[in-house]
Amino acid sequence: MTDRPILFSGPMIRALLDGRKTQTRRVLKPQPQDGWHSPQISKALRLVSWISGEGYVQDCRVAAHIGDRFWVREHWRAWTFLDHTKPSLMKPTEFVKYEADGQQSHPVHPRFVPGRHRQGMHMPRWASRLTLTVTDLRVERLQDISEADAEAEGVGSVESHMPGTKSVTCVQSFQKLWDGLNANRGFGWQVNPWVAAYTFTVHPQNSDAEAG
């Protein structure tokens, strides 16, 4: 079993906490060249291999396989007096405020003033409150996503009640979410990149606590 960090935005953190998100898609790198096909997944090596028409093989690595875990990183804050302290120097007993929770006071110190905003990429493992256990892994093109899978990504459909307007499907909602995160990186919806589609169960606790 391998544990890996994974980053989510505020709306996706809320979807995880609400039980609405049980899938995530991540771009595979490097992307296979045109004409390469038949992706094969090696669990032992955590590799995806494509085969060309000439029999050549191209590999890329996936972050996790079935049975592996992700520990979730998200936007956060610590105490104000720690604003100039690196996360690596903080004690695991320090209080953490999670941005996705909105305005909530400290349970013991109601007058707690949160410090500066910190990016999720700088969250240490001890501060993570969500652990995801991978139960399924598929390798597919982004646009192969189904309506049910798009809903499992934590987005919803929007029914229109206005004459002359169309309803928004879960796939369309997911497309907008995906482009907001990946289009500027060159992996927008229209590019239709190959992705690793992870299905997981959500455990609302730190990965070290979950392991124990």
Measured CA to CA in angstroms, residue 32 lies from 29, 35, 138 at distances of 8, 8, 16
Q: Is the pLDDT of residue 131 over 90?
A: yes
Domains of the chain, with CATH numbers? 3-74+128-211 (2.30.130.30), 76-127 (no CATH)
**Pair of tokens at residue 65:** 């396989």
pLDDT (mean) for 102-106: 64
Q: Which of 164, 10, 135, 142 has the alpha carbon at shortest distance from 69?
A: 135
Q: Which of 174, 172, 170, 173 has the alpha carbon at shortest distance from 147?
A: 170
- Of the pLDDT bands very low, low, confident and very high (cuts 50, 70, 90), residue 107 is low
Q: Kind of pairing, strands 3-7 and 69-73?
A: parallel
- Provide the residue type at 26 as one letter: R
Q: Is the pLDDT of residue 10 over 80?
A: yes
Helix or strand or coil: residue 208? helix
Which own/partner contact pairs does 146-153 have at CB distance under 8 Å and 24+ positions apart?
A: 146/171, 147/171, 149/23, 149/197, 150/174, 152/21, 152/22, 152/23, 152/199, 153/21, 153/23, 153/24, 153/25, 153/177
- Of the pLDDT bands very low, low, confident and very high (cuts 50, 70, 90), residue 210 is low
Is 0.75 surpassed by the pTM of this model?
A: yes
Predicted local confidence at residue 32, as pLDDT: 86
| Residue for token pair 């309803």 | 167
Q: Is the pLDDT of residue 26 over 70?
A: yes
Give the residue, 95 or 37, on which the prediction is more confident.
95
Predicted local confidence at residue 144, as pLDDT: 96
